[in-house]
Every structure is written in C-alpha cells, then in structure tokens.
Structure 1
Amino acid sequence: MDRSRVAIVIPALNEASTIGHVVRAAGRHGVPWVVDDGSGDATAQVARDAGAIVVSHACNQGYDQALNSGFAAAYAIGCDAFVTLDADGQHDPELLPRILRLLENGADVVIGVRSKRARLAEHIFACVTMLRYGICDPLCGMKAYRASVYAARGHFDGYGSIGTELTLFAAARGFRLEQVPFEVRNRADNPRFGRVWRANLRILRALALSIIRI
C-alpha cells in the first residue's frame, strides 16, 4: 500500500509531551494527520515539527469530532486508507505494518484488541459487540479502514459513539473485519476520558445509541 495514501489520524488534546514521538514513529508507515482538539499547550507545533499535517480546532470538540475532521480532510485529498491512533503513546506504531498488510490482503476494517480494558462499561460494550458481530474490543482507538467503508457511511461519527460507529456500520453491512491483539502500554499521566463514573456513563450511552442507530 502506497505510504503517501495512508492517513494516520491522531486526535490530540494537550499531548505535547508524547505527540512528537508518536508522529515520528507513525510517519514511517503513512502520513500522520494530527487533529489538535483545542489544546492549551504546544501539541500542534510539536506535531508539525515532527512532520505531521495538523488540523486544528479552535476549541475542544471531543474525540469523535476530532476524528470526523481528520477523516474528512484526508479523504478530500484522495487517501485510500485511514488508521486511527491515540496520541498518548499507548498504541505501538510498530503494529502498523501488520495492520496495513491485512488491508492489502482484503480486509475492509482492522480492529486492535487491547490486552486490558480500564472500565466496567468497556467490558459490557465488548460483550454486546462480541455476541452481535464477533468484535472483541470495539472501543480500542487503534483501527484501520479502507476509504470505501468511510465513503459508504459518509462520515466517521454522527452520534458520539466514542470511535465505534464506522466499525459497527461496517460489521452490520457485511464488510470484512480482521482483529489484531496487542499489549497496551500504560499512560505516563492521567487518562483524558474523565472520572470513572462519568466515563462509564459515556460508554453506556454510546452503546445504547449504537444499538438504536446502526
């Protein structure tokens, strides 16, 4: 797969301490597109200095809107594939060649499967999607998509799915899915997802909306 036509979309909020390393590592396998989601630190400048294309939000719009912006911008210039990657260093960019090979070999969506999940609601979401679609870890932030999947939906997210809408749409429409287990790294600082009770409520809301809308 032509590296120049692979968009590695990295949503980032106040990740100046990690984004440079993530961009440099990811850039060996595709073109990093960092969506600076209203950061108050030097995230955008560090990302540019490391070689990323930066899409900036003037104010924080949230994870799903950041991915919407990154996918739309990359699709507009004709990218063939999209990979989502977290900015905090928890995902190993060295997995990207394996993920991209699966796309080259016919997969439409490739889903990372983390070695551990942090919250009860994540386990509940995973149980539902495992039973319904065979998807082990729908909330993993490392996924890859052919442009044809994005084009069929017309957007990445429309209801605050925490990064799951396009994957579940693909599963429901019979696109070919592959899954890649990996060891998740620990964050060096606090998680960006919020307090435990609030995070669980957000996940359960996303699950309920996914059941209704997909």
Structure 2
Amino acid sequence: MKIVVSIPAYNEEKTLASVIKRINAVTKKLKHKSEVIVVDDGSTDKTAEIAKKAGAVVYSHPRNYGLGETFKTEIDKALERKADVIVHIDADGQYMPEEIPLLLEKIEKGADIVLGSRFKGRIEGMSLTKKAGNRIFSLIVSYIIKMNISDAQTGFRAFTRKVAEETKITSAFTYTQDQIIAISRKKFRIAEVPVTFLKRDGKSRLMKSPLDYGIRGGANLIRLFRDYAPITFFGSIGMAFIAAGLALGSWLLYRFLTLGAIGKTPSIILTMLLLIIGLQFILFGFYADRKRR
C-alpha cells in the first residue's frame, strides 16, 4: 500500500518545512511506502522552494485558485503517483502530523474516509466565530447525509483511492463538505477520530476577517442546501411565498366579511401571484431533487 500525504499551501514559508519534516519522521516508521506532495496555490513567497528543499514533490498553480481547486489538483496528482491512501493535512502546523497513524488505523480497519475531529479532540486555537461556523456547517452536513458528523470542516483527513476517484468538488471556496456529502451518497464508510488543533502562529491565509468568513461561509451554506437538499431549499422559499399569499388573502377576506369591502384588483392579483410562485418553487424543488438522484 502506498500513502501520499498531500498539503495545500499558500504563502506558508514559515511553517511548511517543519510540517514536512514531521510528516517524514512519522511515515518512516510505517510499514507502507509513502511520499509527501505539496500543491502551491500561487504563493508569492518561497513556499515552493522551501517545500522542495524539505523533500516534498511540489506542484504549483500560476495564481491563487482557492481551496476547492487546490484540493482537485491534490487528488489528481496523488492518483497519478499511484496513491492507495491519501492523507490531507494543512501547511500551517495547526494539525499534528504525529496523529496521522490514528487516521490510517481506521482506514486499515475498513473505513473509506477518516475525519480528524477537532471537536472530539483538543482545541487550543480557534476563534468563537470559526467555532460557531464550523458547528453550523457540521449540523447542516449531518442533516443532509443523515449521519452525525462532529467536524465536517476539518482539513485533516485520510481517504482511499476509490474515494478520491469518485470525489466531485463543485466549490472553489472549500472542499470539506462537498467530499463528505458526495461519498455519503455512494455509501462509503465514514469514520472520525479525535485530533489536536493547535494555535496558529500568525494570521490565517484562508480567512481575511470574521466578516469575510461569514460572507463566504454563508454563500457556501446556501449552495449546499441548493445543490444537496433542493426540496428543503426551494420548498422553504416556496412556503414563504405561500405564507405571504395566504396572509394577504386572509386580510382581504377579513375586510370583505367584516366591512363588506371588496379588495382592489391589484391586491387580489398579488395574492394569486404569491400563491402560484410559491407552488412553482415547491414543485421545482421536487424536480431538482429527482434530477439530482
């Protein structure tokens, strides 16, 4: 069995060498073949040069494409290098390479993907904003796949070659939820292990500010519902229109029964439009769900 440890990196010259050396120290003790690859996502510092000196195989994007596109490159290159198992870990040193064997142990016991759960383990560095966001995303993913996932956002995970071959990522912002949802629909076995999440040295390259995280995270949340739970997404919009139509219709009926006032034509037309639009949204949700399946 060959293990490829894959690292996405963007301007991580300060921490990357240490992470690679620690990974190599761990994998040398394993009974399997292994190597480290780094996908440099358009870094403007010496990330690629440092990764090569530390012994990693480096692939570089011409510019910064984002986590989702970088993850696609990681998978493609790991498969090209004949990986049987891919371990994905971040370049900033917040995850501990020494815990890689915990993930591999679950793979060897039959899991198809193993998620390193920060919330089941120990968290030393995570803002309240990110904690809340991660919890919300995990609840949404758990709802969509009908399985309890404590940390759907984790960047520390291991998965088999078959999972990699059948993973389809649609978001440029992130890969984390898409991979879990995609493989759950193919009945792959998902497991979690507790891991340590250390305090980051310096500012995050992934989150410019809590506002930036909230905007991008919110947009991705909407996309998740739209793409993977269309009945819930379009049904909720449809019910909102129907509720507005019923409220307006009830008010017109009340005025007619109590005051004898007949509603003006525009109000009656608006009521009908709201009800029809709401019904169309609901029907489209069922249609989208059928097409998705």
State TM-score, norm by structure 2.
0.67
Does the CA contact (< 8 Å) of 1:133 and 1:172 recur in 2? no
Q: Tell me which of the two structures has the higher relative contact order, counting C-alpha pairs closer than 8 angstroms and 6 or more residues apart.
A: 1
Q: Which of the pair has more CA radius of gyration? A: 2
Does the CA contact (< 8 Å) of 2:3 and 2:84 recur in 1? yes
1:35 maps onto 2:48 in alignment: no
- Give the secondary-structure state (helix, strand or coil) at the position aligned to 1:207: helix
1:50 maps onto 2:54 in alignment: yes
Does the CA contact (< 8 Å) of 1:9 and 1:33 recur in 2? yes
- Give the secondary-structure state (helix, strand or coil) at the position aligned to 2:193: strand
Distance 1:76 1:176 in 2: 24
State TM-score, norm by structure 1.
0.91
Paired residue for 1:8? Answer: 5
Distance 2:138 2:219 in 1: 14
For structure 2, the residue ranges without an aligned partner over 5 or more in a row are 28-33, 229-293
- Percent of residue pairs bearing the same amino acid type: 29
Corresponding residue to 2:189 among 176, 181, 186: 176
Q: How does 1:121-132 map to 2 (within 5 A)?
A: 121-131=133-143, 132=146
Greater helix proportion: 2
Equivalent pairs, count: 209
Does the CA contact (< 8 Å) of 2:9 and 2:47 recur in 1? yes
Pair 175,161 (structure 1): closer, same or farther in 2 beyond 3 Å: farther
Amino acid at match of 2:170: G
Runs of 4+ in 1 over 3 A off after TM superposition: 115-118
Distance 1:12 1:77 in 2: 19
Does the CA contact (< 8 Å) of 1:9 and 1:32 recur in 2? yes
Paired residue for 1:190? Answer: 203
Distance 2:211 2:104 in 1: 36
Paired residue for 1:211? Answer: 225
Give per-residue Cα distances to partners, 1:146-200, cap 9 Å, x unaligned.
11112123x4x22235122112211232211110112210011011122101112
Does the CA contact (< 8 Å) of 2:87 and 2:156 recur in 1? yes
Give per-residue Cα distances to partners, 1:1-20, cap 9 Å, x unaligned.
x3xx2111111011111000
Does the CA contact (< 8 Å) of 1:161 and 1:210 recur in 2? no
1:145 maps onto 2:159 in alignment: yes
- Give the secondary-structure state (helix, strand or coil) at the position aligned to 1:9: strand
Does the CA contact (< 8 Å) of 1:160 and 1:206 recur in 2? no
For structure 1, the residue ranges without an aligned partner over 5 or more in a row are none
CA RMSD of aligned residues (A): 1.6
Amino acid at match of 1:163: Y
- Give the secondary-structure state (helix, strand or coil) at the position aligned to 1:126: helix
